[in-house]
Structure 1
Amino acid sequence: MKLILIGRYEIELDPLKEETMKIIKNNKNIIELGFQIDVKKYLSIMDLFVSPSYREGFGLSVLEANLMGVPVLVSKITGHSEIVIEGRNGFFVTKKDAIDLKNKMQTLLKSKEYLISMKNNCRTEVIKNYNHNDVLKQALSYYSQFK
């Protein structure tokens, strides 16, 4: 099992402890990629996309993972809970609950066949419920209120 970290650290909002950074840097099973414009090539090799975020405007990365046929494990928060149907295209954990996250990841690690069987559900749910232009319009409308 490998952990692929994609994205920037949020040093100002949520800095990681020095001890955590050392673990990330020294663990051969953690691959740190930083910000990536195109994540499709990384999603294509994943069995599970994990996003334990506790603040999300809209879970675009969750949609992208599902569109690539990758089930997701996400925090039960706004932005994720509108996308994920428990057991169909992904799973929930309680936000900020590291033990729940660890337990669910361990359970899913033993359920690779189940994750593989969910691939078609993931894509179907996104295509059925999200049109790119509609999502873009709604996002622009939402963010325009903060001008």
Structure 2
Amino acid sequence: MRLEGARGPHEGSLEATFGCPRCGHKIVLLTNPWETQLVKVLGVKIGGRATPTSPYEQVLGNLAVPREEVTGNPSPEPSGPGCPFAGMFGQEEVQVPEDGIGWTDEARLRIERIPSFIRPMVQKAIERYAKEQGHRAITDAVMDEARSRLGM
């Protein structure tokens, strides 16, 4: 991913746009005022490097990371060059928790509209409610029912 542009801070928020040079996929990083302040205080530079890489920098970096031991049959390599970021976006599998309660696509989209700082707590509460009521999947109807009963 390469930095394509940055804007801000505007009203405390910072926006940085990154893009994949191979497939053209774009991602926007948007910070809230507290994250923007943290970036300033820590002196973090968002984007590419201002200085060229030093000789052996990659080698030294690789030596610092422990290698995984390979056992058994290795998984086959994908054929063709492909985009290195293609598996990261838009192709997520539906995650089913250990308790077997799944989420419908509509319910998953609806939960994504909840602010990220509170989303895990709401998600756990809805999953707990669905499990107590004997539901196997969380749908919009289950979310409405949980919302009215839990006072959300």
The question of a shared fold, defined as TM-score above 0.5 by the shorter chain, is answered with no
TM-score relative to the length of structure 2? 0.23
Structure with higher RCO (Cα < 8 A, 6+ apart)? 1
TM-score relative to the length of structure 1? 0.24
Higher Cα radius of gyration: 2
Relative to total residues, which structure has the larger helix share, 1 or 2?
1
